[in-house]
């Protein structure tokens, strides 16, 4: 297990924070990270947050968040796979668990239940997941 969670946010200069929202609690990803800092400290996990400005001319993706080098969308999709076991009529269909959509300015945003963001963070700390992602690049 990794002892550092490296968060890189690539964005244009006009964005104030990552466009990532917990659909059930309304927390932003930044709020969730702030909430988790005491647990990280308790477990000896260091949080590194870095911003990288990118030109808005279609070069690098805007509003890209990487956790230990892995795009958060990949981690959220990976985390959502475990939700597919529920087939009862009251369960949310898996295709609606993680949603990617453009906001009013056209920046791509991600929305998922908070538990999936938490699972995505744990997956980013898992050596096997990180190694598997790097092999598949």
Q: For residue 11, is pLDDT > 70?
A: yes
> What's the CA gap between 38 and 43, in Å, rounded?
9
For residue 12, pLDDT over 60 is answered with yes
* Segment 32-56, tens digit of pLDDT: 999 999 999 999 999 999 999 887 6
pTM of the model: 0.84
pLDDT above 70 coverage of the chain, percent? 82
**Does residue 93 surpass a pLDDT of 80?**
no
pLDDT at 78: 85
At 116-132, the pLDDT tens digits run 999 999 999 998 887 88
Instruction: Say what the pLDDT of residue 82 is.
Output: 63
**Residue 83: pLDDT band by 50, 70, 90 thresholds?**
low
- Kindly tell me if the per-residue pLDDT of 94 is higher than 80: no
Give phi and psi for 87, each to the nearest 5: -120, 10
The string over 75-110, giving b where at least 16 C-beta atoms fall within 10 Å of a residue's C-beta and e elsewhere, is bbbbbbeebeeeeeeeeeeeeebbeeeeeeeebeeb
Q: Which domain holds residue 59?
A: 4-135
Count of structural domains, the chain: 1
């Amino acid at each position: 297990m990794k002892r550092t969670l490296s968060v890189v946010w690539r964005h244009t200069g006009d964005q104030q924070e990552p466009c990532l929202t917990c659909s059930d609690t309304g927390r932003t990803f930044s709020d969730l990270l702030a909430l988790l800092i005491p647990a990280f400290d308790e477990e000896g996990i260091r949080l590194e947050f870095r911003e990288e400005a990118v030109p808005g001319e279609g070069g690098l993706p805007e509003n890209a968040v990487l956790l230990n080098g892995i795009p958060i969308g990949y981690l959220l999709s990976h985390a959502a796979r475990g939700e597919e076991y529920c087939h009862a009529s009251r369960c949310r269909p898996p295709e609606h668990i993680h949603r990617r959509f453009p906001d009013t300015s056209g920046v791509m945003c991600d929305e998922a239940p908070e538990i999936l963001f938490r699972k995505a963070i744990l997956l980013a700390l898992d050596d096997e997941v990180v190694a598997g992602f790097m092999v598949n690049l």
